[in-house]
Amino acid sequence: MTNARAFEVNALKADLSAFLGDRLSTSQAVREQHGQDESFHPCAAPDLVAFAHNTDEVSRIVKACARHKAPVIAFGAGTSLEGHVNAIMGGVCIDLSQMDKVLSVQGEDLDVTVEAGVRRRQLDEYLRDTGLHFPVDPGADATLGGMAATGASGTTTLRYGAMRENVLAIKAVLADGSIVELGNRARKSSAGYDLLHLLIGSEGTLGIITELTLRLYGRPEVEASGVCAFDSVQNMVDAVTLAIQCEIPLARMELMDELAIYAVNHYAGLENEVAPTLFLEFHGTTASVADDQQRFADIANELGGKGFRASTSPEERKKLWRARHEALYAAKALNPGKKGLITDVCVPISKLAQSIADTRKDFDEHGILAAVVGHVGDGNYHTTLWVEPDDEAALKTAEGAVKRMVERAIAVGGTCTGEHGIGIGKRLFLQQEHPSAMTMMCTIKRALDPDNIMNPGKVVEV
Amino acid sequence: MTNARAFEVNALKADLSAFLGDRLSTSQAVREQHGQDESFHPCAAPDLVAFAHNTDEVSRIVKACARHKAPVIAFGAGTSLEGHVNAIMGGVCIDLSQMDKVLSVQGEDLDVTVEAGVRRRQLDEYLRDTGLHFPVDPGADATLGGMAATGASGTTTLRYGAMRENVLAIKAVLADGSIVELGNRARKSSAGYDLLHLLIGSEGTLGIITELTLRLYGRPEVEASGVCAFDSVQNMVDAVTLAIQCEIPLARMELMDELAIYAVNHYAGLENEVAPTLFLEFHGTTASVADDQQRFADIANELGGKGFRASTSPEERKKLWRARHEALYAAKALNPGKKGLITDVCVPISKLAQSIADTRKDFDEHGILAAVVGHVGDGNYHTTLWVEPDDEAALKTAEGAVKRMVERAIAVGGTCTGEHGIGIGKRLFLQQEHPSAMTMMCTIKRALDPDNIMNPGKVVEV
C-alpha cells in the first residue's frame, strides 16, 4: 500500500472487514496473486482482496467502495490475457472463485444457472450425466463469470457461438451497489434495451456479473476429429469458406501454420507434414457426420488438401489432434524463461489469408519467431511473441509487430481483438477501430459509473 | 398541427425545407399515413414528414430537431405492431423507405451491406442468383432497418437466430445528429462495449439506423416441409423439446392450435384434422434432410404425433403449409370490420404448453374467440383479439386478457414480448418484467438523448 491513493485504504478496510472478517485479505502474496492475469502486463496489486460468497456480499462491497470512491475489480480465475484484472489504480479486488455453485439445471429448457465463480471444466463435469453440454471453450479453465465479462469465445464459436450468444441472463452488481437482473430465460425477447449484451464483454467496467444462466446443447451422438494439410493458407481458407457456404455444420476448424507445426513436431516428436494444417471436428449423428466428412473431403480435394483423414475413435481422435493440443506447450518449451506477448485479431474471412501472410512477412522482416494458430472459420487468429523478461529492445520490437498486425486488421474491416478483449493492452487500438463509437462508450461509462470506480483504466478512459 | 407543441413547428419546417425541398411534407394524408403502424393504436400524426436519401441527410434532420428540441421518429414500412411509429408527441417523421439500395454483397464473407429502407423481400430477390439468403422472416415485408430497430425475428429463429444474431454492423445517427458506426464485419469481436446490440431493438429511441451489414447463409441444397397433428399441445411441445435436445437442425417449427386450424379449414375449405398441429421445415442436403425427417418422425410417433408427412416437392410443400400461410387471412375473414389486438409473449419452453392452456382457459372464460399460433421451438406464441372498432367494453375485455397473458408469461420467467417489441403498447409490462433494469435503461436513455427527442414516449418514459 505504498502508492498514493485517492481514497482512505484503512477506513475502507475497516468497513469491509466488519462483515467479511478473515475473508478480507491484505497479505502481500494474496494481493500480488490478484494483481495480474496470464498476460505479460506487470503485476499491479490491489490494496485489499475480498472473497465474496454471494451477490449480496458483492453488493455490500461495491457499496463500500462507492462510498469511499475506491476502485473495485472482479477476479475469477485470473486467466485473462490483456491485463483485465491488474489493479492499476489500487482498490479492492473481489475474488468470486468461492461463488462456485451450479444453482440449477433446467434440462427441458436447455439452460443452466450458475454462480459466476463456476469454472468451465467444473460445469462440464457437472453436466456429464445429463446428456447436455456447454460448448464455449476458450482453452483456459476460466470462470464462467469471467468468460461472460470478457466476451470470451474459442474453438467452437463457428458452430455454437461465443459467450455473447450463449448467456441468456445474468445477475450483476452496478457501480452504486444495486443488483440488476438482465436478460431472460425465454429464448428470445424484444423487451427493452439489450443491457445483457452491454454487460457481456464490458470487462467489469460497468458492473460485476455474479450469476449467469447459460444455454446448453444436447451432446452430439457422434464426434469425429479430422486433420488436413494444405499447400497454402489461402487454399485452406478457400476450403473453409466453401465449407461454410455449403452449410457443413463443423464444430471446430483450427489452423496451425507451418511454424506452429514445425515447433510441435520438434517438441512432441511428431511427424506431421510441415505445412499449413487444418484441424476439424464434426458433431452429429453417425449418418450426418459421415456425410459431412465426405462433403468436406470433396472440398479439400478440390483445393489441394493433402491427406485428409478423420476418425470417431477416441484414441484416433486424440492422435489426430495431438499437434493442436500440444501447440501452446511446444511454443513455451521452445522459449524457456521468456514471457509471451499473446495477441489476437479477427478479420473478415476474405481477408484472412492475406492478413496471415502479411503478419508472417512482418515477423520475418523483424526477426520474430512466432507461430500462428487460429479459429479459421471465424477469421480469428492468435500469435505469441516471446521475449526475454528484461530485454526492453525485444519487447519494443514485439510491441511494434503487434501494433502493425492490429492496424492491418482494422484497415481491412477487422477488429483489434476477436476474443481476448481490451483490458489495458488494447485501449489505443479500440480508439483506432471505433473512433465514432468511443464518445458513446464514454458517455455510457460516465452515466453508469460516474465516479469511475468499476475496474478503472480498462476498456475506456474517462 | 392543432396540438400544442413544445417546439416551433414553423421554424423547424423552414430549417428542414431549406435542404429537403419538396421531400418535406406537411400534407395531412402523408402525415396520417406516417402516424400509425399495423397495430390497433390510434393514429398520432407527426407534424412533418421528411423523406431522407442518405445518412448525411438523416444527420442534418436530427441536428435540426435537436436544435428545436423536437421529437424525431424513424419510419420504414410501418409494419410494426405496438405503435412504434405513432408520433404521440408530434415532431418530425423521417421516412427511410427511399434509402433502398443494396450497397454491396460480400459473398466470400457471407454478408451484405444495405441501406435501412431495403425491404426483406427486395433483398431476397436481389440475392436470388447468388446462392445466398438472409433468413430472418417476421412475416411482414418490413424494412431491414425497421427489423433491426425493433429486434425482429420470426419463423426461422430456431435455426438462424433473430436480427440480434444476424446484424454484424450498423451506421446510425444519434440524438445530437452525430453519425456512429457500430459492430464489425469480422465474425466476432471483443473490442469494447457492445453498442451494436444496444441499438438493435431500441426502437429508434437511442438512434436511427441508416445502414446495416447482415449475415448471409448458403441456400440449402434441399428444403422439405412437413406437418404433424398431435393429441395435445403438451405432446407437441414435448416432441419439439426432444427434437431440439437431439440437435435436429429444424429450420422452422410452427404451432397452430385447434381453433386456428378450425378457422383456416372453414376459410380455405381445407380438411386438416382439428387438432394442435405442427408445421415443420427442414434445410440441408438430400441425405441430411432425409435423416432429420426420419429422426423427427420417430420422436413424433413416440409422442402421439398423428400422420406426420413431409415433402421436398415445391407443390406438395405449399399444400402441406397452406393452413399456416392462410392463418392470418382466415382470422381476418372471420372477423370482418373488426380491429385486431395482436400480441405475443415468449416463455421458457418447459412452460409453453401450460402457458397456452392457461391463455385458452382465460379466453374461454371471457368469451374471447382468438386462435393461437406460435414459433414453438422458441417458446414464442401470438394471438390476435378481434374487437369492433367502437366497442369500448370489448376493447377493455381484450386488453384485460392480454394483460393477464403477459403477466402469466412474466411470472414463469418469460418475457412480455418475444418479437414485437415495446412501442407504446407494452411499456407498463416492461416495468413489470425488468423492475431492476428499468433504472439502468432510463439512465442510458437520458445520457444518450438528454432532451428526449428520439421517438419519445416509446420503450422507456424519462
CA distance B172 to B72: 14
**What confidence tens digit (pLDDT) does each residue in B196-254 have?**
999 999 999 999 999 999 999 999 999 999 999 999 999 999 999 999 999 999 999 99
What's the confidence (pLDDT) of residue B334?
A: 86
What's the confidence (pLDDT) of residue B92?
A: 98
Q: What are the cell numbers at A412?
A: 481491412
CA distance A184 to B81: 22
* β partners of residue A208: A173
* Structure confidence at residue B1 as a pLDDT band (50, 70, 90): very low
Given an 8 Å threshold on Cβ–Cβ distance, is B108 in contact with A349?
Answer: yes
CA distance A292 to A299: 11
Q: What are phi and psi of B367, to 5 degrees?
A: 60, 30
Given an 8 Å threshold on Cβ–Cβ distance, is A426 in contact with B191?
Answer: yes
CA distance B100 to A308: 45
In this structure, the answer to whether residues A272 and A321 fall within a common structural domain is yes
Question: A294 — contact with chain B (CB < 8 Å)?
Answer: no
Cα A195 to Cα A116, B66, B221: the distances in Å are: 18, 26, 38
**What confidence tens digit (pLDDT) does each residue in A143-191 have?**
999 999 999 999 999 999 999 999 999 999 999 999 999 999 999 999 9
Residue B25: helix, strand or coil by DSSP?
A: strand
Whether residue B337 contacts residue B389, with contact meaning beta carbons closer than 8 Å, is answered with yes
* β partners of residue A415: A346
Mean pLDDT score of chain B, rounded to an integer?
96
- Point out the residue among B241, B416, B443 whose CB comes nearest to the CB of A108: B241
* β partners of residue A285: none
Cα A230 to Cα A364, A385, B25: the distances in Å are: 21, 25, 61
- Point out the residue among B217, B413, B446 whose CB comes nearest to the CB of A185: B413
Q: What is the DSSP letter of A415?
A: B
Given an 8 Å threshold on Cβ–Cβ distance, is B188 in contact with A162?
Answer: yes
CA distance B264 to B384: 14
Q: How far is A162 from chain B (nearest CA, A)?
A: 8
Residue at grid coordinates 478479420: A347
In this structure, the answer to whether residues B228 and B207 fall within a common structural domain is no
What mean pLDDT do residues A394-422 have?
97
> Burial level of A385, CB count in 10 A (0-12/13-18/19+)?
buried
Residue of B nearest to A133 (CA): B245
Residue B259's contacts (CB-CB under 8 Å, 6 or more residues apart) are B369, B370, B371, B372
**Cα–Cα–Cα angle for A229, A231, A235, rounded to 5 degrees:** 90
Cα B204 to Cα B145, B147, B198, B385: the distances in Å are: 10, 11, 11, 27
Residue A370: helix, strand or coil by DSSP?
A: coil
End-to-end CA distance of chain B: 24
Q: Is residue A453 part of a domain?
A: no
CA distance B377 to B247: 12
> Burial level of A115, CB count in 10 A (0-12/13-18/19+)?
buried
Q: Is residue A353 part of a domain?
A: yes
| CATH label of the domain that carries residue A405 | 3.30.70.2740
State yes or no: pLDDT of A1 exceeds 80.
no
> Within 10 A of A201 (CB to CB), how many other CB atoms are there?
26
| CATH label of the domain that carries residue A159 | 3.30.465.10
CB-defined contacts A:B, below 8 A: 297
**What confidence tens digit (pLDDT) does each residue in B255-307 have?**
999 999 999 999 999 999 999 999 999 999 999 999 999 999 999 999 999 99
Question: A417 — contact with chain B (CB < 8 Å)?
Answer: yes
Q: How far is B420 from chain A (nearest CA, A)?
A: 6
Q: What are the cell numbers at B92?
A: 418530425
- Point out the residue among B179, B184, B414 whose CB comes nearest to the CB of A186: B414
**Cα–Cα–Cα angle for A201, A203, A208, rounded to 5 degrees:** 105
Residue B374's contacts (CB-CB under 8 Å, 6 or more residues apart) are B254, B255, B352, B356, B380, B381, B382
Task: Find residues 200-219 of chain B whose CB sits inside 8 Å of chain A.
Answer: 200-202, 206, 217-218
Task: Find residues 87-116 of chain A whose CB sits inside 8 Å of chain B.
Answer: 106-111
Taking each continuous run of H as one helix and of E as one strand, the counts in chain B are: 16, 18
Q: Are strands B207-215 and B111-115 parallel, antiparallel or unpaired?
A: antiparallel
In this structure, the answer to whether residues A207 and A261 fall within a common structural domain is no
Nearest to B172 by CA among B183, B162, B163: B183
In this structure, the answer to whether residues A27 and A107 fall within a common structural domain is no
Domain count, chain B: 4
In this structure, the answer to whether residues A344 and A377 fall within a common structural domain is yes
As a residue count, chain A comes to: 462
**What confidence tens digit (pLDDT) does each residue in B132-142 have?**
999 999 999 99
Q: Is residue B111 part of a domain?
A: yes
Residue at grid coordinates 524463461: A337
Residue where a domain terminates, one of A333, A367, A385? A333
Given an 8 Å threshold on Cβ–Cβ distance, is B192 in contact with A430?
Answer: yes
Residue B333: helix, strand or coil by DSSP?
A: helix
For the question of whether the overall pTM of this predicted structure is more than 0.95, the answer is: yes
* β partners of residue B310: B226
Q: Are strands B217-218 and B207-215 parallel, antiparallel or unpaired?
A: unpaired
* β partners of residue B171: B181, B211
Residue at grid coordinates 458452430: A159
Q: Is residue B133 part of a domain?
A: yes
Residue where a domain terminates, one of A313, A333, A353? A333
**What confidence tens digit (pLDDT) does each residue in B17-30 have?**
999 999 999 999 99
**Cα–Cα–Cα angle for B22, B28, B31, rounded to 5 degrees:** 75
| CATH label of the domain that carries residue A54 | 3.30.43.10
Taking each continuous run of H as one helix and of E as one strand, the counts in chain A are: 16, 18
Q: Is residue A178 part of a domain?
A: yes
Residue ranges in B200-253 assigned as alpha helix (H): 233-245
**Cα–Cα–Cα angle for B284, B245, B250, rounded to 5 degrees:** 25
Interface test with B, best of A187, A248, A376 (most B CBs within 10 A): A187
Question: B29 — contact with chain A (CB < 8 Å)?
Answer: no
CA distance B159 to B414: 20
Percentage of chain A modeled with pLDDT above 70: 99
Residue A233: helix, strand or coil by DSSP?
A: helix
Q: Is residue A454 part of a domain?
A: no
**What confidence tens digit (pLDDT) does each residue in B365-424 have?**
999 999 999 999 999 999 999 999 899 999 999 999 999 999 999 999 999 999 999 999
Percentage of chain B modeled with pLDDT above 90: 96
CA distance B213 to A340: 36
Residue at grid coordinates 451484405: B112
* Structure confidence at residue A2 as a pLDDT band (50, 70, 90): very low
In this structure, the answer to whether residues B81 and B63 fall within a common structural domain is yes
Residue ranges in B303-340 assigned as alpha helix (H): 314-334
What's the confidence (pLDDT) of residue B2?
A: 45
**Which residues form the domain of B34?**
9-97
Q: What are the cell numbers at A434?
A: 471505433
Give the rounded distance of the alpha carbon of A50 from its chain centre: 24
DSSP 3-state percent helix, strand, coil across chain A (nearest 5): 40, 25, 35
- Point out the residue among B151, B190, B244 whose CB comes nearest to the CB of A151: B190
> Burial level of A33, CB count in 10 A (0-12/13-18/19+)?
middle
Residue where a domain terminates, one of A297, A318, A333? A333
In this structure, the answer to whether residues A230 and A213 fall within a common structural domain is no
H/E stretch holding B159 reads helix B157-160
Residue of B nearest to A429 (CA): B191
What mean pLDDT do residues A210-239 have?
97
Nearest to B151 by CA among B161, B383, B276: B161
In this structure, the answer to whether residues B143 and B206 fall within a common structural domain is yes
Question: B268 — contact with chain A (CB < 8 Å)?
Answer: no
Nearest to A200 by CA among A153, A139, A134: A153
CA distance B320 to B309: 8
- Point out the residue among B111, B346, B422 whose CB comes nearest to the CB of A192: B422
Amino acid present at A116: A
State yes or no: pLDDT of B63 exceeds 80.
yes
CA distance B220 to B312: 12
CA distance A329 to A273: 19
What's the confidence (pLDDT) of residue B3?
A: 55
* Structure confidence at residue B5 as a pLDDT band (50, 70, 90): confident
In this structure, the answer to whether residues B320 and B392 fall within a common structural domain is no
Q: What are the cell numbers at B151?
A: 429486434
Nearest to A166 by CA among A139, A198, A144, A191: A144
Q: Is residue B453 part of a domain?
A: no
What's the confidence (pLDDT) of residue A423?
A: 97
Q: What are the cell numbers at B5?
A: 407543441
Whether residue A165 contacts residue A142, with contact meaning beta carbons closer than 8 Å, is answered with no
In this structure, the answer to whether residues B206 and B235 fall within a common structural domain is no
CA distance B249 to B219: 15
Question: How many alpha carbons fall within 13 Å on the CB side of residue A341?
Answer: 21
Residue B136's contacts (CB-CB under 8 Å, 6 or more residues apart) are B120, B147, B152, B153, B154, B156, B157, B160, B161, B162, B163, B166
What mean pLDDT do residues A223-231 have?
97
**What confidence tens digit (pLDDT) does each residue in A64-114 have?**
999 999 999 999 999 999 999 999 999 999 999 999 999 999 999 999 999
DSSP 3-state percent helix, strand, coil across chain B (nearest 5): 40, 25, 35
Q: What is the DSSP letter of B95?
A: E
CA distance B103 to B117: 12
In this structure, the answer to whether residues A79 and A132 fall within a common structural domain is no
Whether residue B378 contacts residue A109, with contact meaning beta carbons closer than 8 Å, is answered with no
Whether residue A352 contacts residue B108, with contact meaning beta carbons closer than 8 Å, is answered with no
* β partners of residue A294: none
Given an 8 Å threshold on Cβ–Cβ distance, is A378 in contact with B188?
Answer: yes
Nearest to B39 by CA among B398, B436, B443, B433: B398
Question: A407 — contact with chain B (CB < 8 Å)?
Answer: no
Residue of A nearest to B430 (CA): A191
> Within 10 A of B445 (CB to CB), how many other CB atoms are there?
23
In this structure, the answer to whether residues B262 and B250 fall within a common structural domain is yes
Question: B450 — contact with chain A (CB < 8 Å)?
Answer: no
Q: Is residue A442 part of a domain?
A: no
Task: Find residues 144-203 of chain B whose CB sits inside 8 Å of chain A.
Answer: 150-153, 157, 161-162, 164-165, 174, 178-182, 184-195, 197-198, 200-202
